[in-house]
């Protein structure tokens, strides 16, 4: 699987120690594009919901793009598990199918975290369904090639460590990178076919969390999803040979909580749980998505799910970050006398962070208790669905409740070397009043009911479709680099890499409800259906995906990237960090029309994907077309 390779992105700065890719962990699902139906679905669905991708998209695309199938591996969240480990990710082929199937994949999948095992399957299924495809239906034959693509998560072991502790990712106004960074090893691609790789991050469930008692707990309903954005790998589009030659790194992807972020970073809400998803889209001969059948597949590695935070809550996570992230080396210490401590001690007063204090206290409190982390106990089951058409879907059953996020064994106190505290009192207080406030009164936005209808227990929610529904539409895509690097793929007729180096954004308004064109018209989520994609190109026609759209209508528009550049240039520079890459972005050349189309496609797809998660989508009826690399 892994064939050598270096990282595609130049960056690869950090490799974590861990083992490399899991073994073919992810599976793909190939989505076979579908006929008409799909089309509608595409729009909103894709991006919005996580898992869903395949489905709708397919449909939509079919019409538009013909070929392609998406494969989503939905796998939304599976618990940390082991399951994923190696072949963890599953694929789903998108074959559009009748609504029925839907249930299986429907939205739940992606959207929801891994709930306990069970769901996974369900979840995944849901997504597919959502898209319009139905997984199970025998109808169309599954796409062929795309489903052969395998994706292995790099440093899976490291990811697992974090996952077991309840991964947290810092989000800042300026944007913060993810660590561990998302890197994958891709195999099974057609060396000469061009693909576009992108990532989106979808809500794992519809809850807001709070960290108390040394574990993550649901604190209320999730806030309206942020505008969805996609991060397109800078090398895209590139040939299969290029992608397979080296690790594909998404290290430069940044997360922000700034709803008005002008950089194209992925926007998230703090204290919410998310699941990154990798989408592989086959580019057409023009490096675009214009063809009728655009195939794509989605890979989800449950262990990459995380809770976004503005400051670390779990000390164990902090320690893992410090120990493994080169940039945090300054905080490492050989032992209690680490540099940081020394530094702190040099100050007039010793300091101890609240989190540390909290944890310490908690640890002491819990020390007596056996470590019963759900995670450990959790067993995940990986299920496979074999579609008649041959598509595979794997579902990992996660454990109930969030294992991952929840508890974690008492920290090894060695890490808690801070002695004197400043704010000890406060910390203590926190401990005493854990979870006191349920904060969240999530704004009950209109339509919420639809979303969270009868919210299942947390555990279940992870799996439940409803969860997916929450998924927000994704807004933006960012093309950051250009494809120069693509160059030399042997055997490939490399067209000059299209100037993808541009950022694209698609914005979705919150609270849309989409209905993918499905046989049934079901109001999707209360999220906005409006998507805008910013690209360098002129505004593209809107892809309306849904025929029946409930309340929200989905708009899919592409804006000229120029505007983006302008934004940057004039934007509140002060607050914006300067990024090295930035210049490049500004300099981006407009992509070819084809490319634009591709982008559009992509977006639409994504939207679909996300939306799929919701069961509502399942219905999609689509005919599945077989996807062929050729």
The tokens for 501 are 């180096």
**Comparison of 100 and 435: residue with beta carbon closer to DNA:** 435
CB environment 90-123: b (16+ within 10 A), e (fewer):
bbbbbbbbbbbbbbbbbbbbbbbbbbbbbbbbbb
**Comparison of 257 and 616: residue with beta carbon closer to DNA:** 257
Minimum distance of DNA from residue 564's CB (angstroms): 17
The yes or no reply on residue 159 touching DNA (CB under 7 A) is no
CA torsion angle 431 437 438 439 (round to 10): -110
Identify the residue among 109, 280, 344, 403 touching DNA (CB under 7 A). Answer: 344
**Comparison of 270 and 521: residue with beta carbon closer to DNA:** 270
Q: Alpha-carbon distance 440 to 446, whole Å?
A: 16
The yes or no reply on residue 485 touching DNA (CB under 7 A) is no
Identify the residue among 6, 17, 19, 330 touching DNA (CB under 7 A). Answer: 330
Binding span for DNA by CB under 7 A among 345-353, 483-491, 503-511, 615-623: 345-353
Q: Are strands 194-212 and 238-239 parallel, antiparallel or unpaired?
A: antiparallel
Of the candidates 181, 25, 55, which has an alpha carbon nearest to the alpha carbon of residue 127?
Answer: 55
The yes or no reply on residue 335 touching DNA (CB under 7 A) is no
Find the binding residues for DNA in span 498-527 (CB under 7 A): none
Are 507 and 480 in contact by the 8 Å Cβ rule? The answer is: no
> What is the distance in angstroms between the CA of the first residue and the CA of the last residue of the chain?
22
- Please provide the size of the chain in residues: 630
The yes or no reply on residue 13 touching DNA (CB under 7 A) is yes
The yes or no reply on residue 482 touching DNA (CB under 7 A) is no
Q: Alpha-carbon distance 124 to 465, whole Å?
A: 9
The yes or no reply on residue 318 touching DNA (CB under 7 A) is yes
The yes or no reply on residue 444 touching DNA (CB under 7 A) is no
Binding span for DNA by CB under 7 A among 94-102, 141-149, 156-164, 316-324: 316-324
DSSP assignment of 284-299 equals -TTSSS-SSEE-EEEE
Element (H or E) spanning 277, and its range?
strand 272-282
Q: Alpha-carbon distance 2 to 72, whole Å?
A: 20
Identify the residue among 14, 296, 452, 559 touching DNA (CB under 7 A). Answer: 14
Binding span for DNA by CB under 7 A among 152-160, 306-314, 458-466, 468-476: 306-314
**Comparison of 192 and 423: residue with beta carbon closer to DNA:** 423
**Comparison of 329 and 453: residue with beta carbon closer to DNA:** 329
**Comparison of 150 and 273: residue with beta carbon closer to DNA:** 273
Minimum distance of DNA from residue 576's CB (angstroms): 10
Q: Alpha-carbon distance 279 to 606, whole Å?
A: 8
The yes or no reply on residue 426 touching DNA (CB under 7 A) is yes
Element (H or E) spanning 428, and its range?
helix 424-432
Are 198 and 465 in contact by the 8 Å Cβ rule? The answer is: no
Q: Alpha-carbon distance 122 to 466, whole Å?
A: 12
The tokens for 30 are 């190939």
DSSP assignment of 103-168 equals TTEEBHHHHS---SHHHHHHHHHHHHHHHTB-SS--SSPPPSSGGG-EEEETTHHHHHHHHHH--E
Find the binding residues for DNA in span 213-272 (CB under 7 A): 219, 252, 254, 257-258, 269-271
Minimum distance of DNA from residue 267's CB (angstroms): 11
**Comparison of 194 and 273: residue with beta carbon closer to DNA:** 273
Are 32 and 392 in contact by the 8 Å Cβ rule? The answer is: no
Q: Alpha-carbon distance 607 to 58, whole Å?
A: 11
The yes or no reply on residue 352 touching DNA (CB under 7 A) is yes
Total site size for DNA, rule CB under 7 A = 66
Identify the residue among 329, 412, 453, 589 touching DNA (CB under 7 A). Answer: 329
Q: What is the DSSP letter of 8?
A: S
Site string for DNA, 563-582 (x = CB under 7 A): ------------x-xxxxxx
The yes or no reply on residue 60 touching DNA (CB under 7 A) is no
Cis peptide before 180 (omega within 30 of 0): yes
Minimum distance of DNA from residue 154's CB (angstroms): 15
**Comparison of 326 and 496: residue with beta carbon closer to DNA:** 326
The yes or no reply on residue 422 touching DNA (CB under 7 A) is yes
Binding span for DNA by CB under 7 A among 171-179, 405-413, 482-490, 554-562: 171-179
**Relative orientation angle of helices 38-48 and 593-612, to the nearest 10 degrees:** 70
The yes or no reply on residue 173 touching DNA (CB under 7 A) is yes
Identify the residue among 26, 91, 133, 353 touching DNA (CB under 7 A). Answer: 353
381 CA to centre of own chain: 21
**Comparison of 384 and 578: residue with beta carbon closer to DNA:** 578
Identify the residue among 310, 364, 444, 490 touching DNA (CB under 7 A). Answer: 310
Minimum distance of DNA from residue 148's CB (angstroms): 32
The yes or no reply on residue 207 touching DNA (CB under 7 A) is no
Residues of this chain that interact with DNA (CB under 7 A) are: 10-14, 170, 172-173, 176-177, 179, 210-212, 219, 252, 254, 257-258, 269-271, 309-313, 318, 321-322, 325-331, 339-340, 343-344, 349, 351-353, 355-356, 418, 422-423, 426, 429-430, 433-437, 439, 575, 577-582
């Amino acid at each position: 699987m892994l064939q050598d390779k270096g990282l595609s992105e130049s960056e690869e700065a950090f490799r974590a120690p861990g083992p490399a890719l899991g073994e073919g962990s992810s599976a793909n699902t190939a989505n076979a594009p579908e006929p008409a139906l799909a089309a509608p679905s595409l729009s909103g669905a894709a991006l919005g919901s996580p898992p869903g991708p395949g489905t709708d998209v397919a449909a939509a695309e079919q019409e538009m793009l013909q070929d392609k199938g998406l494969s989503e591996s939905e796998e939304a969240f599976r618990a940390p598990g082991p399951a994923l480990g190696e072949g963890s990710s599953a694929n789903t082929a998108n074959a559009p199918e009748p609504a029925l199937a839907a249930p299986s994949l429907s939205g739940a999948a992606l959207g929801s975290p891994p709930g306990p095992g069970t769901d996974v399957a369900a979840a995944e299924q849901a997504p597919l369904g959502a898209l319009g495809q139905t997984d199970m239906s025998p109808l169309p034959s599954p796409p062929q090639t795309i489903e052969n693509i395998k994706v292995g998560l790099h440093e899976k072991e490291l990811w697992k460590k974090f996952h077991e502790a309840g991964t947290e990712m810092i989000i800042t106004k300026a944007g913060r990178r993810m660590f561990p960074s998302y890197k994958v090893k891709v195999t099974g691609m057609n060396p000469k076919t061009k693909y576009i790789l992108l990532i989106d991050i979808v809500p794992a469930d519809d809850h807001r969390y709070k960290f108390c008692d040394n574990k993550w707990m649901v604190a209320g309903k999730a806030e309206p999803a942020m505008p969805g954005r996609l991060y397109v790998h800078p090398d895209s589009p590139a040939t299969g040979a290029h992608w397979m030659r080296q690790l594909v790194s998404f290290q430069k992807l940044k997360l922000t909580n700034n709803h008005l972020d002008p950089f194209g970073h992925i926007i998230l809400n703090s204290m919410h749980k998310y699941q990154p998803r990798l989408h592989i889209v086959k580019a057409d001969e023009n490096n675009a998505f214009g063809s009728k059948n655009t195939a794509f597949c989605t890979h989800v590695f449950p262990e990459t799910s995380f809770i976004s935070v503005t400051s670390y809550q779990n000390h164990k996570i902090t320690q893992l970050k410090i120990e493994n992230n080169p940039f945090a080396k300054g905080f490492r210490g050989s032992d209690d006398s680490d540099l940081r401590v020394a530094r702190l001690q040099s100050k007039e007063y010793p300091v101890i962070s609240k989190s540390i204090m909290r944890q310490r206290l908690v640890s002491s409190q819990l020390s007596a208790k056996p470590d019963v982390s759900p995670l450990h106990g959790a067993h995940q089951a990986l299920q496979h669905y074999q579609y008649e058409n041959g598509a595979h879907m794997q579902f990992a059953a996660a454990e109930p409740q969030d294992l991952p996020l929840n508890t974690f064994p008492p920290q090894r106190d060695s890490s808690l070397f801070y002695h004197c505290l400043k704010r000890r009192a406060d910390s203590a207080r926190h401990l005493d009043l854990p979870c006191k406030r349920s904060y969240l009164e999530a704004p009950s936005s209109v339509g919420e009911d639809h979303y969270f209808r009868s919210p299942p227990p947390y555990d279940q929610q992870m799996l439940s479709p409803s969860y997916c529904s929450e998924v927000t539409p994704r807004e933006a895509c960012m093309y950051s680099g250009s494809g120069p690097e693509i160059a030399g793929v042997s055997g490939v007729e490399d067209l000059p890499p299209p100037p993808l180096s541009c950022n694209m954004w698609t914005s979705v308004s919150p609270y849309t409800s989409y209905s993918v064109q499905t046989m049934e018209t079901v109001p999707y989520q209360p999220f906005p259906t409006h998507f805008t994609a910013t690209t360098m190109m002129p505004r593209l026609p809107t892809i309306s995906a849904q025929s029946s759209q409930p309340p929200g209508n989905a708009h899919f528009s592409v804006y000229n990237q120029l505007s983006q550049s302008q934004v940057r240039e004039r934007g509140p520079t002060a607050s914006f960090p300067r990024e090295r890459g930035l210049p490049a972005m500004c300099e981006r050349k407009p992509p070819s029309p084809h490319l634009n189309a591709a982008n559009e496609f992509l977006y639409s797809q994504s939207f679909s994907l996300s939306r799929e998660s919701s069961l509502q989508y399942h219905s999609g009826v689509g005919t599945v077309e077989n996807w062929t690399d050729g």
